Structure 1
Amino acid sequence: MEPFTKIYNEYKVLVYNVALHYLQNIQDAEEVTQDVFVKVYYTLHSFQGKASLKTWIYKITINQSLDFLKKKKSKKRLFIFGNKSHNEQEIVQISNFEHPGIILEKKEDAALLFAIINTLPEHQKTAFILSKIDGLSNPEIAEIMETSISAIESLIFRAKTTLKERISDKFESYRKKK
């Protein structure tokens, strides 16, 4: 139990922050953080050390976050097309996310940016978040995503290009409204 406690104490903030960047909901990030450490606890014996422990935990966190988003989207579709939930709070709008670390006057801009980041394809979003938000190097990202450094550079470049276009479009339509 002691090695797990050490791992938990060392990586709990990292796991929570990565989950929060993906899910943009505090309660969901807390849930995924818990799920990640349950998975780490039960699979720690199979960790072979081919990658660093940090990389292994990043992979688990990203996969748990993406799985959570997929489940959430399927619940939304079921809500729209199938059985109506008895609890309207179950359907959460990601675009209304307010990141706890953002200064009050910048929240509207940040909400717009996070909404646009969420429209990126999955691999571009992952590479962009790990690079620009988590500050990881391209070699670290390549190891986490199990691809080449040049593929990571391409993903980040395409993500930045797409974000620039979409941000420009958003602000252009915003200016036309005023």
Structure 2
Amino acid sequence: MQNNAFDLNFLYQTYNLLVYNVALNYVQNVEDAEEITQDVFVKVNYSLKNFNQKSSLKTWIYRITVNQSLDFIKKKNSQKRFFIFGKRNENEYDYLNASSFEHPGIELEKKEEAELLFTTINTLPENQKTAFILSKIDGLSNPEVAEIMEISISAVESLVFRAKSSLKDKL
């Protein structure tokens, strides 16, 4: 299959739910996950001609999604710091007081527990967080996680183990 044979509409129809769910697991907010999903497919559209097929298309899209999600979180955190120390404006109150946990896949009765879990997951170092989310929440195998993160399978196992240990300590 040639790079130019990929149809963006087909890719969107095939992978948009996967991208959205991965993003949602990172940000726990519907609007943010939708924004990340849009950003991922814009990036896929611009980068498709450079896709070298060393990995599967699904793995490549996963990698873009993880990177976009992490970049989104970093950008949002730096904006929050700017609001605290920088210029104040009319959007500050709305931004700082917006609901931080909104995950439609979680039943209302379990929402508090899930919010605590995701809040704690968000305190993990980036690589542990990514390995844990891909492995334990998205249900990917260690070889799949290793390919997405571009690390060895033993490194994935170690990251997941450390993430689980840290979560046990914190919870």
TM-score normalized by the length of structure 2: 0.93
Matches within 5 A, 1:4-23: 4-23=8-27
Could you report, residue by residue, the CA deviation over 1:42-100 in whole angstroms, capped at 9, with x for unpaired residues?
A: 11111010000000001100111111111101101100011113212223567x40311
Matches within 5 A, 1:21-170: 21-87=25-91, 88-91=93-96, 96-167=100-171
Contact 2:40 2:65 in 1 (8 A): yes
Where do 5+ consecutive residues of structure 2 fail to align? Answer: none
Aligned residues: 166
Where do 5+ consecutive residues of structure 1 fail to align? Answer: 168-178
RMSD: 1.4
Amino acid at match of 1:89: D
1:35 CA drift (Å): 0.5
TM-score normalized by the length of structure 1: 0.89
2-structure distance, mates of 1:126, 1:85: 34
Amino acid at match of 1:104: L
2-structure distance, mates of 1:2, 1:139: 25
Contact 2:30 2:102 in 1 (8 A): no
Query: Relative contact order: is structure 1 or structure 2 higher (C-alpha 8 Å, sep ≥ 6)?
Result: 2
1:129 CA drift (Å): 0.1
- Overall identity of the aligned pairs, in %: 66
Task: Point out 4+ residue stretches in structure 1 off by more than 3 angstroms.
Answer: none
